[in-house]
Structure 1
């Protein structure tokens, strides 16, 4: 029981950390303030620049590009440019929906390759020092493919939630929930992607012993 509680605390700590405040809370506060004073377009532009800047700063500090962060930065950039050109905040708000759908398609499409997308992400960011023998095990790759399927469905669910909010809620509410939801679901899924293979392997060993 104590180990489970520690694992839960560890996951929560990894989700609600300094990066969460910088990448989720601050953009929400910026946009909410600007939108409240009728400066929605300016708020969109500023939060877009902020989000892209966070990715760039992390790259300068760590010298590596996380696949998911890179895709988010690319779509944020496209949404930002479209918003400035069209002068329509909706353009920026639709970008995450398109991103979710395309990322889901990429996750499902990666199942056709030797290494699925989530395996690349996990190995790139969290299993850098893991032996190649572990990474090349058929069981490990099978688990990663299963996780890629789960990721695909999570991305599709995010897109559906955002579409519903876009047509039923205010712009501020949509942006706040969409940003917070995306910044919570991604680290939770990454934590799950790391813990699930360990749990699965432990369960398989126990089954073999019985």
Structure 2
């Protein structure tokens, strides 16, 4: 009988969502945005919070010497949004960047299904499943489970892009930015936890 897949450490969904990284990457940018907005303009607030988010990814890379795929993609789009915002002097450019990111990431996810290792499988194994036995990785159901999970992530990204569009068009910039930032901080660890649970369930049924 195969050994069950276990994360390297006991996985707690709550602890892995509301942790130090959540405060640094989600709460602090909101505080920077809020303070800067009161002192100057929303544009300055968005630019400063965007710089903070990029700096966090860069510092984490130099500290850990590893590349986090999801964080790197977020930093790249943050940079694009930041440059576009500075050039256009319009907050809308920066706020629309996550929507473009969601659609593009969904496309990348779908394409990765045709590779030997779907992106979500790589991310999960990099962060939480380092000890998966080779015999389980060679199991066709293991690869199939991550294909299903990756397709689900793509669908979720398309859905959240649609929701972002609705919020951006019908609510204030402050409401949109707050919801978008907090959701991003919570959703990724939650989705990864659900992915690991589903993969373990799929292999045993």
Q: TM-score, normalised by structure 1?
A: 0.88
- Pick the aligned partner of 1:33 from 15, 32, 35: 35
Query: Which protein has the bigger helix share?
Result: 1
- Equivalent of residue 194 in structure 1, options 177, 193, 196: 196
Task: Tell me the CA shift for residue 73 of structure 1.
Answer: 0.4
Higher RCO (C-alpha under 8 Å, 6+ residues apart): 2
Give the match for residue 63 of structure 1: 65
Residue number in structure 1 paired with 2:7: none
Distance, in Å, in 2 between the alignment partners of 1:35 and 1:183 is 21
CA contact (8 A) 2:141 2:202 kept: no
Find out whether 1:173 has 2:160 as its counterpart. no
Q: CA RMSD in A?
A: 1.4
* 2:90 aligned residue (88, 91, 112): 88
Which of 70, 74, 84 aligns to 1:72? It is 74
Q: After superposition, give the CA deviation of every residue in 1:46-95 in whole Å (9 maximum; x if it has no partner).
A: 10110001111111111111111110000000000111111111111111
Report the alpha carbon displacement of residue 38 of structure 1 after superposing the two structures with TM: 4.3
2:130 aligns to what SS in structure 1? coil
Mapped contact 1:35–1:172 kept (Cα < 8 A)? no
- How many residues in Structure 1 have an aligned counterpart in Structure 2? 195
Offset, 1:43: 0.7
TM-score computed with the length of structure 2 as normaliser: 0.90
Query: In the alignment, does 2:29 pair up with 1:49?
Result: no
> Is the 8 Å Cα contact of residues 134 and 140 (structure 1) preserved in structure 2?
yes
